[in-house]
Amino acid sequence: MSRVIGLFALLCCLAFFAAPAAAQTYGTSPFEGAYVGGYAGGAFDPNAAVALGGMAGVNFEVSPGIIAGLEVQGGAELKSGSTTWEGLMLARGGGAVTPDAMVYGELGVGTVNSVTSWGVGLGGEAIVAPQIGVRGEVIGTGPWGSGLNRTKATAGLVWHMQ
């Protein structure tokens, strides 16, 4: 667990300090720049669990309407009698479907219960108030070198630090 917390803290700091680089890009997207947030949902492996956690990241508008970014997520999955800890670092890419809504895909690595793992997912986010977004995503993870064996579906709130 301490590895996950340490990795999450390090990656949050990197995302925060990378935010000034976002100012050098196009600057028209409400998704651009650093952000933090939290999520809740469910995880299935195939048993169900409650998933709770947080995320931090930075997005860059690489061309009008096209977003690339880096995100770290850390959280826990709570089942009766056990807790699974996870930390993931995800590269993200997507596009705006309206000026205030985007869809994205993500791919990355991290740890799930101290096992080196990889993950792949899809999500969407909509701006609902100045600097505030709501998002939903589904991420599948599995041990490095093998297939996916776990799925997490979450909804969350995001604060964009513009």
Residue 8 is predicted with a pLDDT of 47
Closest CA to 152 of 128, 117, 103: 117
Output the pTM of the full model: 0.81
What tens digit of pLDDT does each residue of 81-116 get? Answer: 889 999 999 999 999 999 999 999 999 999 999 999
Domains and CATH numbers, the chain: 2-160 (2.40.160.20)
Contact 49, 78 (CB under 8 A): yes
